[in-house]
Amino acid sequence: MQVGVTLEETAVLVGWRKRSDNHALVRMKTEAILYASEGVGIGIIAKMVERAERTVQEWLADWQATRMCSVLTGHAGNQNAAKLTRDQKQEL
């Protein structure tokens, strides 16, 4: 599945991929999108980012639907699944 990426999008994605302070999921998604834009197969991309082929297909479908918004999902630093609230963690 090949996806289209503009030059501007490529520059931003490469920047996100190189930043060590970005969440690992953001870096993996950017790599997958960049590989797909170069025509690399889903199976190879899945191996490179260590995710299931179905996951990579979903990432690429999301990319085609919402472009840059699909990469930054908001899961990084998410506190929703934590057992303690932020205030409780601060008390500890």
| Pairwise CA distance, residues 74 & 11, whole Å | 21
Residue 35 has pLDDT above 80, yes or no: yes
pLDDT in tens, 36-84: 999 999 999 999 999 999 999 999 999 999 988 888 866 555 555 556 6
Please give the average per-residue pLDDT across 19-44, as a whole number.
90
Contact 68, 34 (CB under 8 A): no
pTM above 0.85, yes or no: no
Could you give phi then psi for residue 76, rounded to 5 degrees? Answer: -65, 125
